[in-house]
Amino acid sequence: MSFNLPVFRSVRILAVVAAAVTVLSSMFIFGMRPARGAGATCAVSYQANQWNTGFTANVTVTNGGTAVTSWTAAWSWTGTQQVTSGWNAQVTQSAKTVTATNEPYNGAVAAGATVSFGFQGTYSGTNDPPVNFTFNGVVCSGLGQSSPPSTPSTPPSTPSTPPSTPSTPPTSPSGGSCSAATVFCDGFETQTSTTPSGRWSIATPDCSGTGTAAITTAQQHAGSKSLEIDGHGTYCNHVFASDSTDMTTASPTWYVRFWMKHTAPLPTNHSTFLAMNDSAHGNTDLRLGAQNGALVWNRESDDATLPAQSPAGVAQSVVVPTGAWECLEFSVDGTNGQIHTWYNGTAVPGLTEDGVSTPDIDDQWLSGAGATWRPQLTDLKLGWENYSSGDDTLWFDDVALSTSRIGC
């Protein structure tokens, strides 16, 4: 995978470094400058999330020249960085040079428009920003450097990126406090025993086994309590904490935000940690979980997945790391069937259904009867359901339901 991006001379870098408990994010924004030897201009932002031996990065290029129908971006490393995978571009590396070429769906970039892609890699020592960016061979010279931030102990997941599809998801509100939730925000602080109560009840549809759901003080994202799910493999060992009273209040567009922490890597086989009953489709569930190690939406009524479970589709999703609190948000629109999903505040292309069929993402989801799928969600279930083998212990906290985006 390789990236040829503009190199900037005498460029002023705005380095924005945001440190979270477990994930480090640093963004370098290179201002618009005329390209040397050409009349074009360009701007690049580079946002990296790193841990002790690896990192992910999102790259956004603004095309300040004429419109293009295809593109190649490239840069060089100054250290030991090695790209291992990418998304929204075909990314390759030779020695210290990285090259990225467009995918079939994002080659056209209008004058003044932007294109985004990303990648995952490894490093040792320091992880300085890349240098010598070019975009379609145009050099935007001179890339300044910023001291690399300190390294957190927990790696982030496979990254999320801005959607490459035509959809424009709702913008994030300022802050993610519970005050933004119009229906409820529950941190489980009012629970008085280990058995979920109030809006929450334990649910084991069809059959029950060894899975358990309890209120705990051993883990929490905020406050002193959270919901703990001790999940076990095979269907009948599933268990959920279910809220069957509040979803109708948010209809017809449901916005949900929650924080999750778990202990086992996401499995290859299909599993679910969030399910919502869809009364418009035979009381089947719309499910959010994992398959092939990455997050996936699954529609029980026809077993369609979002994204498609091709290598290219899975690469458009994210992997939720173990041992860290991560923020997940989504919206489901009952009037047009669209779904938008955010991971730690950033839209996930593979978990976006915008009504426009995109190969490897929502083409399967929108095929056949899926083109007219309009859900009516009646409950919210948090838990664990694995259709093969595989256990996981999960904690949920600060669960919010609203009629507009809540934020992390």
Sequence length of the chain is 408
Closest among 8, 59, 57, 14 to 33, alpha carbons compared:
8
pLDDT at position 293 is 93
Look at residue 140 in the predicted model and tell me its pLDDT. Answer: 63
The reported pLDDT for the residue numbered 384 is 96
| Model confidence, pTM | 0.61
- Give the span between the Cα atoms of 365 and 303, in whole angstroms: 9
* pLDDT (average), residues 287-309: 96
> In the predicted model, is pLDDT for residue 407 greater than 70?
yes
**pLDDT at residue 176, rounded to an integer:** 54
405: which 2 tokens?
């985006």
> Of 18-32, 225-239, 377-391, which gets the smallest average pLDDT?
18-32
Whether 28 contacts 14, CB under 8 Å: yes
pLDDT at 52: 62
pLDDT mean over 129-153: 59
Q: What is the pLDDT of residue 115?
A: 84
Instruction: Examine the pLDDT at 315 and tell me if it is beyond 50.
Output: yes
Q: Quick one: fold of 13-139?
A: Immunoglobulin-like (2.60.40)
Please indicate whether residue 39 or residue 229 has the higher confidence score (pLDDT). Answer: 229
Looking at residue 8, its pLDDT comes to: 31
Distance CA 132, CA 74 (A): 8
pLDDT tens-digit map of 96-112: 999 999 988 789 989 88
Domain boundaries, the chain: 13-139, 178-402
- Give the pLDDT of residue 116: 79
Tell me which of 2.40.30.30, 2.60.120.200, 1.10.1200.10, 3.40.50.720 is the CATH number of domain 178-402. Answer: 2.60.120.200
Distance from C-alpha of 242 to C-alpha of 377, rounded to nearest angstrom: 13
Q: Residue 17 pLDDT more than 90?
A: no
Residue 191 contacts by C-beta under 8 Å, 6 or more apart in sequence?
197, 198, 200, 215, 225
Per residue in 144-157, pLDDT tens?
A: 333 333 333 344 34
Q: What is the pLDDT of residue 54?
A: 74
**pLDDT, averaged across the chain:** 81
**pLDDT at residue 161, rounded to an integer:** 40
Mean pLDDT of 304-327: 95
Q: Which residues contact residue 341 at a Cβ distance below 8 angstroms, ignoring those fewer than 6 apart?
A: 288, 295, 297, 328, 329, 330, 347, 348, 351, 352
Q: Is the pLDDT of residue 158 over 70?
A: no
Model pLDDT, residue 79: 92
The answer to whether 54 touches 122, Cβ cutoff 8 Å, is yes
Instruction: Assess contact for 395 and 263: CB atoms under 8 A.
Output: no
Angle at 243 (CA atoms; ends 396, 175), nearest 5 degrees:
50
- What letter represents residue 237's amino acid? N
By percentage, how much of the chain surpasses pLDDT 90?
Answer: 58
Instruction: Report yes or no: 292 and 266 within 8 Å, Cβ to Cβ.
Output: no
3-state SS of the chain?
Answer: CCCECCCCCCCCEEEEEEECCCCEEEEEEEEEEECCCCCCEEEEEEEEEECCCEEEEEEEEEECCCCECCCEEEEECCCCCEEEEEECCEEEEECCEEEEECCCCCCCECCCCEEEEEEEEECCCCCCCCEEEEECCEECCCCCCCCCCCCCCCCCCCCCCCCCCCCCCCCCCCCCCHHHCCCEEECCCCCCCCCCCCCCEEECCCCCCCCEEEEECCCCCCCCCEEEEEECCCHHHCEEEEECCCHHHHCCEEEEEEEEEECCCCCCCCEEEEEEEEHHHCCEEEEEEEECCEEEEEECCCCEEECCCCHHHHCCCCCCCCCCCEEEEEEEECCCCCEEEEECCEECHHHCECCCCCCCCCCCCCCHHHHHCCCCECCEEEEEEECCCCCEEEEEEEEEEECCCCCC
Residue 66 pLDDT > 90? no
Q: What is the pLDDT of residue 221?
A: 94
Categorize the per-residue pLDDT at 51 as very low, low, confident or very high, splitting at 50, 70 and 90: low
Q: Which whole number is the average pLDDT over 271-275?
A: 97
Instruction: Say which range, 4-13, 77-86, 303-312, has the weakest mean pLDDT.
Output: 4-13
HEC profile of 19-31: ECCCCEEEEEEEE
CA angle centred on 382, ends 391 and 327, rounded to 5°: 95
Q: Which two tokens stand for residue 247?
A: 């979803």
The confidence score (pLDDT) of residue 156 equals 39
pLDDT over 50 at 27, yes or no: no
Pairing of strands 97-101, 24-34: unpaired
Per-residue pLDDT tens for 211-260?
999 999 999 999 999 999 999 989 899 999 999 999 999 999 999 999 99
pLDDT for 112 equals 82
